[in-house]
A and B are shown apart, each in its own frame.
Chain A
């Protein structure tokens, strides 16, 4: 449906109830995330500080570090400190570098966001036209060969995880042909391979989705009306069919964005990209728990926000989805 459908939804007023319910769910999920991140450091078997500083570290240092992290306080006191700290923007201090975790995140987050947002844009820009083309070419059971080819290729591409695509691209285009740098993010050409690696799979999935959605819209009555007006085919597809096929596309697009958040972790490690993904892996290997905790929170909140956004946008576009949930 369209933005124009929103007022009708408001009049029926499932919208405020829907918003309240959805926000409550966001709050609960956020609390669960905070608590899980907090408990993580306590669920690690043995003494996290000993594990982090190494077996050879002197006992006094370990004790001092424990006191500094407040690990000797009762659990609920620590929880209180932790939540209060988060509210004031204090994510703790990295055990490895001594830097504030918030600062590390602030340094690294923009690179990751750039990657994710660029890849998402590429997915949309590529997948929508490709999906439209194949929907038009294969409508009404035409060109079975093209349909089969499109489906097999997109299924295959969607099945390869992004880090394997990344390795393949590096081997072929960076090492083999030397077109792009292997690693780093110094100039524009360095963005090409990581973004492509992140975008290939989701683009395949989304273009398939666009095709299926568009095919079902092409069977709608109003498309027949447009044809009865003897409009040129391109206007029938672009002006009448496409806008009505985008709701479902948008939903899936949003969900793919959360998948991409996870995808960046691996792709960043292939390309030594200076983002959160390479940082979290390094800090897991170094057992730098405060830093891991902080980055886990950032990723988690990102996922929750994307999910919230998708639901809200979907509710605005299609009031029925809000009602359906009630």
Chain B
């Protein structure tokens, strides 16, 4: 409970909180002082100034007895706010009673009460208040009770929900075990712990009660003459709205301001209670300059050329750079695998080279070319027809609200200018090509009627609506079971042969990559640390460790599974030197201070390491790589 003071103070420190707190203080001050200061002025009858419009003497004009409406509006603050607070207090009291009784009463009575509260909560508060006003009678007292009992069910529900969440906590269980009675448990342990949200909600509730009370008085059911609150003034003002609109608008503004004051103070505190820290999303300063990361690789006819690619996102304390200078190229028809742990930047690289990173993410590169044109300048038609994407989760990558065939057909409607019918026919043809059985029927089905493997094949089919030069497959088999995984990989390989498309296969599974690809890029902490032909011996300690962790049927089950100790650095905490140094058995002083660059060490082999293991490896990992 010591927390509450700090929470309210924290709320007041926000701009909205400060404004609403000042507003609320003003309303309360007015409620206390206005009747003392201007009570007489508001009651003074002036038969010479009956029903006048606004003037210097009477800012809001005068009513039918010549009384000053500005002063009456100010003086009415006390009754309006006071009655609203009174009604809320009674309502919260009754609500707490109704909400806690079920835990004290016999079981059947408790259930009955809960059911009654549930029925009552379904009705809008104003309807309840109207109904109750009939029972309690027209007038101030009746209206207070009506509003109190109308808000009570909502508070009862709140108390039930809150105490249910408290009841599960350890200290309640401890108290119960130590033999504390139910009533004492409630009073000493449960209620104090739900006090804070209850007070917050009561503050907001007072705002609503104020509006509801104004409503009842406006209808003539609440405060009766000669007393007056804002609702009553509004009612009287509306009658003469042609003569003096301000007479109605004045009380309107007063009600809105006071209601807002209560609401906003409550909401701000609720916000502070709920969300303790709010990250500022403003980016700090300019993008950091990329460090030199790779020696450029010669590429003449490449489908995809990536040089020094960097992907950055603005964070609360500066830029986070999950991809830090990646360089590679993909030749026509080539299959390249990208491997690495999750968070190594594989998927972001894939999204960046397919121009799918959205603001606030920023992609920079020395060269980023697809099929000979800079990616940034490539047309949507070019990318839509010759760059195919296959995403990780086939369950979520199709729009659940559209038929599969239509989702494929869209590509041709958009980029080939085909008619709906022709595009759909092509979609069926493509589904047949990726071996979706009964394609004509399947095309008319929705994604949830497809199995996971079939959806992934349909996704490949979607890429085949055009003539892909490059298929980027981001973990295409991770969400599938092993047999289906094999089918999908085989389909990718066949597609590559049939269409002459290059493949960029992102996977955390080295076995998958070595089956499908002839080259492998190993990524670590946003960089390519090794680029090697699959099967050739790894030189980077990380790649070797990664290969050692692969498991297959030949793995000796008596040996403990190989793991790489430690964790990769967070993208915003990458060290100055080699990012793998902390986990590397070979790390030297140089590794910790200087970041190695990706350099060719042998034919078609590049490594970023100060201590590459060039010697022929002995043992299992090499055979694994060749498998």
A→B interface (CB under 8 Å): 1-2, 4-5, 8, 28-29, 32-33, 36, 40, 43-45, 139-142, 156, 159-161, 163-164, 167-168, 170-171, 175-176, 182, 220-222, 224-232, 235, 239-240, 243-244, 258-259, 261-263, 265-266, 269-270, 280-281, 284-285, 289, 292, 296, 299-300, 303-304, 307
Contact = CB atoms under 8 A, between A and B. Distances in A.
B269 to A, nearest CB: 16
B115 A36 contact: no
Contact of A243 (B124, B131, B360, B401): B401
B34 to A, nearest CB: 21
Contacts of B124: 258-259, 261-262, 303
Nearest to A156: B260
B442 to A, nearest CB: 14
Contacts of B220: 281, 285
B397 interface: yes
B399 A167 contact: no
Given A4-B401, A261-B124, A229 B414 contact: yes
B249 A220 contact: no
B236 to A, nearest CB: 12
A170 B246 CA distance: 11
13 contacts: A4-B401, A8-B448, A45-B137, A159-B260, A161-B259, A168-B252, A176-B245, A222-B399, A224-B356, A226-B399, A261-B124, A263-B126, A284-B138
Contacts of B137: 44-45
B411 A229 contact: yes
A304 B121 CA distance: 11
Given A29-B122, A221-B397, A307-B122, A140 B130 contact: no
B487 interface: no
A66 B211 CA distance: 38
B400 A167 contact: no
Contacts of A280: 130
A292 B459 CA distance: 62
A163 B218 contact: yes
Interface string B575-611: 0000000000000000000000000000000000000
Contacts of B119: 28-29, 32-33
Nearest to B414: A231
Given A4-B448, A175-B242, A224-B391, A261 B127 contact: yes
Q: Which of B215, B234, B407 has the most CB of A within 10 A?
A: B215
Binding site secondary structure of chain B? helix
Contact of A167 (B122, B252, B260): B252
Given A159-B259, A160-B259, A284-B134, 6 more contacts: A28-B119, A160-B256, A164-B214, A164-B234, A171-B248, A284-B130
Contacts of A33: 119
Interface stretch (B187-195, B297-305, B381-389, B425-433): B381-389
A45 B259 CA distance: 32
A261 B122 CA distance: 13
A25 to B, nearest CB: 8
Contacts of B245: 170-171, 175-176
B135 A222 contact: no
B390 to A, nearest CB: 9
Binding site secondary structure of chain A? helix
B215 A163 contact: yes
B6 interface: no
Nearest to B218: A163
B391 A289 contact: no
B396 A221 contact: yes
Given A159-B256, A161-B215, A229 B400 contact: no
B354 interface: yes
B249 A168 contact: yes
B133 interface: yes
Contacts of B255: 161, 164
Nearest to A223: B399
A49 to B, nearest CB: 15
Contacts of B356: 224, 227-228
Contacts of A304: 122
A230 B241 contact: no
B402 interface: yes
Contacts of B446: 2, 4
A236 B249 CA distance: 45
Contact of B127 (A142, A230, A300): A300
B159 to A, nearest CB: 21
